[in-house]
Amino acid sequence: MSDILIVDDERDIRELISDILQDEGYATRMAGNCDTCMAEVRSTPPALMILDIWLKDSEMDGIDILKAVKRDYPDIPIIIISGHGNIEIAVAAIKQGAYDFIEKPFNIDQLLVVIRRAMEASRLRRENSALKRQGGEASEMIGESPAFRGLISQLDKVTKSNGRVMLTGAPGSGKELAARYVHANSARAEAPFVVVNCAQIEADRMEEVLFGRETAERGIEPGLLEQAHGGVIYFDEVADMPLGTQSKILRVLVDQQFLRAGGSDKVRVDLRVISSTSQDLEDAILTGRFREELYHRLNVVPIRVPMLSERREDVPLLARHFIEVLHRSQGLPKRALSEEAASLMQTLAWPGNVRQLRNVIERILILGEGSGEIPVEEVPGDEERRGVDDGRVVISGALAMLPLREAREAFEREYLLTQINRFGGNISKTAQFVGMERSALHRKLKSLNVVTTSRSGGRIAQYDDMEETGTAAE
Ligand SMILES: Nc1ncnc2c1ncn2[C@@H]1O[C@H](COP(=O)(O)OP(=O)(O)OP(=O)(O)O)[C@@H](O)[C@H]1O
So where are the chain's domains? Answer: 3-135, 146-306, 314-380, 395-469
pLDDT of residue 60: 67
Residue 7, pLDDT above cutoff 80: yes
Has the ipTM of the complex gone over 0.90? yes
Residue 9, pLDDT above cutoff 80: yes
Q: Looking at the CA of residue 142, tell me the nearest atom of ligand 1.
A: 3
pLDDT of residue 286: 95
Alpha helices in 191-266 (DSSP H): 203-211, 224-227, 243-255
Contact between 224 and 196 under an 8 Å Cβ cutoff? The reply is: yes
Exposed/middle/buried for residue 453 (C-beta within 10 Å: 0-12, 13-18, 19+) = middle
From 14-28, 214-228, 366-380, 395-409, the region with the lowest mean pLDDT = 395-409
Residue 362, pLDDT above cutoff 80: yes
pLDDT of residue 272: 95
Given pLDDT bands bounded at 50, 70 and 90, which one contains residue 277?
very high
Between strands 193-197 and 213-215, the pairing is unpaired
Residue 181, pLDDT above cutoff 80: yes
pLDDT of residue 128: 54
Residue 471, pLDDT above cutoff 70: no
Superfamily of domain 146-306: P-loop containing nucleotide triphosphate hydrolases (3.40.50.300)
φ and ψ at residue 362, rounded to 5 degrees: -60, -45
Bigger pLDDT: 281 vs 419: 281
Ligand 1, atom 15, residue with closest C-alpha: 174
Alpha carbons 456 and 438: distance in angstroms, whole number: 21
Contact between 49 and 69 under an 8 Å Cβ cutoff? The reply is: yes
Cα–Cα distances in Å, from 358 out to 107, 317, 422? 26, 12, 19
Report the share of the chain in percent with pLDDT over 90: 36
CATH number of 3-135: 3.40.50.2300
Highest mean pLDDT among 117-131, 164-178, 183-197, 373-387: 164-178
Tell me the average pLDDT of the chain: 83
Q: Looking at the CA of residue 167, tell me the nearest atom of ligand 1.
A: 21
Which of these CATH numbers, 1.10.10.60, 1.25.10.10, 1.10.8.60, 1.20.120.1460, describes 395-469? 1.10.10.60
Using only the alpha carbons of the chain, give its radius of gyration: 25
Given pLDDT bands bounded at 50, 70 and 90, which one contains residue 308?
very high
Q: Tell me the CA–centroid distance for residue 357 and ligand 1, in Å.
A: 10
Average the pLDDT over 28-38 and give the result: 91
Q: Tell me the CA–centroid distance for residue 7 and ligand 1, in Å.
A: 31
Between strands 232-236 and 193-197, the pairing is parallel
Residue 348, pLDDT above cutoff 90: no
pLDDT of residue 448: 85
pLDDT of residue 292: 95
φ and ψ at residue 437, rounded to 5 degrees: -65, 150
Q: Which amino acid is at 223?
A: G
From 70-74, 83-87, 178-182, 236-240, the region with the lowest mean pLDDT = 83-87
CATH number of 314-380: 1.10.8.60
Q: Tell me the CA–centroid distance for residue 163 and ligand 1, in Å.
A: 22
Ligand 1, atom 23, residue with closest C-alpha: 172
Average the pLDDT over 183-193 and give the result: 89
| Protein residues with CB under 6 Å of any ligand 1 atom | 95, 141-143, 169, 171-177, 236, 276, 278, 318, 321, 354-355, 358
Given pLDDT bands bounded at 50, 70 and 90, which one contains residue 295?
very high
pLDDT of residue 233: 95
* pTM for this predicted structure: 0.61
Same fold yes or no, 3-135 and 314-380: no
pLDDT of residue 91: 81
Q: Tell me the CA–centroid distance for residue 178 and ligand 1, in Å.
A: 8
Q: Tell me the CA–centroid distance for residue 65 and ligand 1, in Å.
A: 25
